């Protein structure tokens, strides 16, 4: 039945395929449709995922893991259950109830096998099973004893001793990094970065800016240069693996980690170098990268697709200059034009894919130019299918459905008009992009607009502003009240906002009349809401974290105010944010409900104050069971020695949970803290990890950078 459905759908693609070659409209749906087309074709070509890579019998390997990862990304983007079912069938075929993986042998120390499980992180969130976690634990355990070169990089395989291949960086590092973050083991991230440091140190070529395929520490291999240990040529796909590994690993390297910039620098250097060797007619790259015009060399699709993915993601995430997004679009156009073909059965194939290449082994692979161009070329290789789907979806993420621009150059001039245009109860994510400008609007995002992303160009220039306040009268002469004063009301689940300022300017341009000077900038009731690199400006009651049970995550945000400017019932995490006090008063006023597991968590935040502000409390309880914890934060000297206030509610002293852990700075001295606050033990602090505070029953983990593209299963 699945094949029939896929075949019917694929037959409808014929005219689209022809039309795409006539005129390209780079819409969000254009890229998504390409991902769907290739994903459906892959499932049509292979009834079972283990058959990918033209296998005759099952084998746990990286190629199937790569395709599985790409199909789960496609599931996120489309909510089509067929992709999830196809991947789950594969996982359940290989992994038994104990988490043992069929055909996997840890003591082979083959780094490729680790990447075979890269898809399990997402699968285990969609379909939680103990055996999936056990399988990931087993793969992770391989890295504990996997042989290494003297400076700490993993051998490519036990049967390739003392060798580091660029391919191996993708086979181990993204899994290693994600496992470390999701299992609260950040101390291993330096080892993750070390893999790249060693590889780049010994494979980088100063002349071209590229990296050689492999390096032999022992200099014993016939392919290894006796002085440098490097293989003699630049193989395109090995560089592609290298770049994909970097952009995926960067998802998990904290911004404050100094080594992070080293990875970004490598990415920029190699991408810049690649542009010198690109074929400008097809936008593709050759099998041997630096010799595009050499006899026998050919334009190769796996490397080109990997470069496309790395450039698209790198530009979207800010690791690369924005110009690389347009480069990636052109590369994708070239791939579709010159490396795809429509088959008689309605499926689409990707052509020009090198089947395999390596160094050493039996029969011996010399790494010569002649060797690389002699390996078989085929269609539908999983090493191009997976990256193609990932590249298409990356470009879709960078191509909004709706553009808002005050000057009329977008689809709408106001954000509210754009929100109103989004269909109710849509089952996939909608992206709204806002061009710079001050948008004086009172915004309401309805509950029915789930899975909505609103992304500005820059928080300093993309501003949503209004000036209502609690004492202001409405059309009927009644005071708006605190809840009626907000600039932005956010109600839908799975809301994502980035690079935007939300401001309430009441009292700034003209004085407020009447009683009630509370003036909310953001009123957020959403569950699983994410705010990244946003600014929230106001005075009293700037941010209202509404709705008991809702979980909200703020990353690298700036929040300012005077009194109780972060308040409410929700569970909220503020991760590496700046919290700025404009007046001697109180920062938080949590209203955590009795029985709630967590309230507010401030993690690695910086607390600052305006000049002359010297007496600020960390918080006071709006309701008697308030929970607020500051962990590893820099507390300025404006924080009072007592730290907390009881709001003249002695009973609250017995019921609140006000905690601190490993804070530092002039305001972090705890000798004179109120006795009813807590200095958390290490064990208590573990209970307040971001993971524990936010994950709930659905495994929500926004700190990993994963944003949902489909609804959560109820």
Burial 630-651 (b: 16+ CB within 10 A, else e): bbebbbbebbbeebbbbbebee
How far is Cα 323 from Cα 332, in angstroms, rounded to an integer? 15
CB atoms within 10 A of CB 228: 14
Give the separation between CA 574 and CA 562, rounded to whole angstroms: 18
Q: Among residues 534, 478, 469, 473, which one has the least CA distance to residue 508?
A: 469
Task: State how far the alpha carbon of 496 is from the alpha carbons of 309, 407, 440, in Å.
Answer: 23, 25, 21
- Residue 62's contacts (CB-CB under 8 Å, 6 or more residues apart) are 112, 113, 115, 116, 171
Question: Tell me, what DSSP letter sits at residue 484?
Answer: G
Alpha carbon distance 472, 482 (integer Å): 10
CB neighbour list of residue 238: distance below 8 Å, 6 or more residues apart = 165, 166, 167, 211, 213, 214, 357
Q: What token pair was written down for 134?
A: 């056990």
Backbone angles phi, psi at 107, to 5 degrees: -75, -5
* Preceding peptide of 524 cis, ω within 30°: no
Q: CB under 8 Å to 335, separation ≥6 — which residues?
A: 283, 284, 301, 304, 305, 308, 350, 388
Using an 8 Å Cβ cutoff, are 40 and 10 in contact?
yes
CA–CA separation, 22 vs 281, rounded Å?
Answer: 16
Residue among 112, 167, 381, 493 flagged as catalytic: 167
Q: Cα(first)–Cα(last) distance of the chain, in Å?
A: 26
Contact status, residue 33 vs residue 16, Cβ threshold 8 Å: yes
Give rounded-to-5 percent helix, strand, coil for the chain.
35, 20, 45
> Do strands 377-378 and 353-354 pair parallel, antiparallel, or not at all (unpaired)?
antiparallel
Q: How many helices (H) and strands (E) in the chain?
A: 19, 34
CA distance 601 to 593: 15
Q: Beta 462-466 vs 501-504: how paired, if at all? A: parallel
Task: Let me know: does 331 contact 338? Beta carbons within 8 Å.
Answer: no
Euclidean distance between CA atoms 208 and 545, whole angstroms = 53
Give the burial class of 685: count Cβ atoms within 10 A of its Cβ; 0-12 exposed, 13-18 middle, 19 or more buried: middle
Contact 417, 443 (CB under 8 A): no
E strand map for 533-591? 535-537, 543-545, 551-555, 558-561, 566-568, 571-575, 578-581, 586-590
Cα separation, 486 vs 466, in Å, equals 8
Looking up tokens 């590889």 gives 199
- Active site (annotated) includes residue 493: no
Closest to 109 (Cα-Cα) out of 140, 60, 146, 138: 146
> Of 348, 306, 314, 297, whose CA–CA distance to 331 is shortest?
306
Helix residue spans in 605-688 (DSSP H): 682-687
Structure tokens at 639: 């924080």
* Distance between CA atoms of residues 383 and 372, nearest Å: 16
- Which residues, listed in sequence order, are joined to residue 296 by a DSSP beta bridge? none
Query: Could you list the active site residues?
Result: 167
């Amino acid at each position: 039945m699945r094949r029939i459905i896929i075949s019917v759908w694929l037959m409808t693609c014929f005219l689209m395929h022809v039309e795409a070659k006539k005129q390209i409209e780079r819409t969000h749906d254009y890229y998504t449709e390409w991902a769907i087309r290739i994903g459906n074709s892959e499932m049509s070509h292979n009834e079972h995922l283990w058959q990918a890579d033209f296998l005759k019998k099952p084998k746990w390997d990286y190629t199937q893991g790569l395709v599985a990862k790409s199909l789960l990304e496609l599931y996120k983007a489309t909510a089509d259950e067929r992709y999830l079912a196809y991947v789950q069938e594969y996982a359940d075929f290989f992994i038994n109830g104990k988490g043992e993986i069929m055909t996997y042998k840890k003591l082979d120390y083959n780094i490729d096998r680790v990447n075979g499980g890269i898809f399990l992180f997402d699968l285990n969130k969609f379909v939680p099973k103990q055996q999936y976690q056990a399988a990931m634990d087993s793969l992770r355990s391989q890295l504990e004893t996997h042989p290494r070169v003297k400076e700490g990089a993993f051998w490519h395989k036990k049967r390739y001793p003392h060798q580091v291949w660029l391919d191996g960086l993708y086979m181990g590092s993204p899994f290693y990094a994600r496992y470390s973050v999701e299992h609260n083991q950040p101390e291993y991230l330096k080892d993750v970065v070390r893999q790249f440091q060693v590889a780049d140190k010994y494979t980088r070529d100063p002349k071209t800016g590229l990296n050689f395929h492999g390096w032999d520490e022992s200099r014993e291999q016939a392919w290894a240069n006796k002085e440098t240990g490097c293989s003699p040529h630049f193989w395109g796909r090995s560089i592609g693996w290298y770049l994909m590994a970097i952009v995926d690993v960067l998802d998990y390297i904290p911004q404050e980690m100094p080594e992070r910039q080293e990875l970004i620098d490598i990415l920029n250097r190699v991408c810049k170098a690649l542009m010198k060797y690109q074929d400008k007619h097809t936008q593709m790259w050759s099998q041997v990268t630096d010799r595009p015009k050499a006899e026998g060399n050919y334009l190769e699709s796996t490397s080109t697709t990997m470069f496309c993915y790395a450039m698209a993601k790198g530009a979207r995430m800010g690791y690369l200059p924005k110009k690389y997004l347009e480069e990636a679009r052109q590369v994708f156009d070239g791939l579709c034009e010159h490396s795809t073909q429509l088959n008689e059965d309605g499926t689409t194939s990707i052509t020009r894919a090198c089947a395999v290449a390596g160094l050493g082994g039996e029969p011996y692979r010399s790494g010569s130019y002649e060797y690389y161009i002699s390996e078989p070329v085929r269609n539908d290789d999983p090493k191009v299918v997976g990256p193609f789907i990932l590249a298409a979806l990356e470009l879709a993420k960078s191509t909004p459905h709706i553009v808002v621009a005050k000057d009329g150059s977008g689809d709408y001039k106001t954000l509210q008009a754009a929100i109103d245009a989004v269909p109710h109860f849509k089952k996939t994510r909608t992206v709204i992009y806002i061009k710079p400008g001050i948008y004086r609007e009172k915004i309401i995002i309805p509950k029915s607009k789930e899975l909505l992303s609103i992304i500005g160009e820059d928080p300093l220039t993309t501003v949503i502003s209004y000036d209502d306040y609690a004492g202001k009268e409405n059309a009927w002469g009644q005071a708006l009240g605190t809840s009626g004063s907000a600039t932005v009301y956010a109600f839908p689940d799975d809301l994502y906002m980035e690079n935007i300022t939300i401001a309430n300017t009441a009292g700034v341009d003209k004085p407020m009349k009447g009683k009630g000077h509370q003036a909310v900038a953001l009123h957020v009731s959403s569950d699983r809401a994410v705010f990244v690199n946003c600014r929230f400006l106001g005075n009293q009651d700037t941010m209202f974290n509404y709705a008991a049970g809702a979980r909200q995550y703020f990353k690298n945000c700036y929040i300012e105010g005077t009194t109780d400017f972060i308040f409410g019932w929700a569970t909220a995490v503020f991760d590496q944010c700046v919290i700025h006090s404009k007046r001697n008063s109180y920062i938080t006023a949590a209203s955590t409900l009795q029985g709630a597991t967590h309230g507010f968590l401030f993690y690695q935040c910086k607390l600052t104050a305006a000049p002359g502000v010297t007496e600020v409390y960390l918080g006071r309880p709006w309701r008697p069971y308030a929970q607020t914890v500051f962990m590893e934060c820099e507390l300025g000297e404006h924080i009072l020695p007592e730290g907390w206030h009881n709001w003249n509610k002695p009973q609250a002293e017995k019921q609140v949970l006000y905690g601190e852990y490993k804070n530092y700075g002039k305001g972090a001295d705890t000798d004179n803290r109120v006795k009813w606050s807590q200095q958390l033990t290490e064990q208590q602090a573990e209970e307040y990890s971001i993971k524990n505070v936010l994950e709930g029953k659905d495994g929500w983990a926004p700190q990993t950078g994963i944003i949902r593209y489909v609804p959560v299963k109820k």
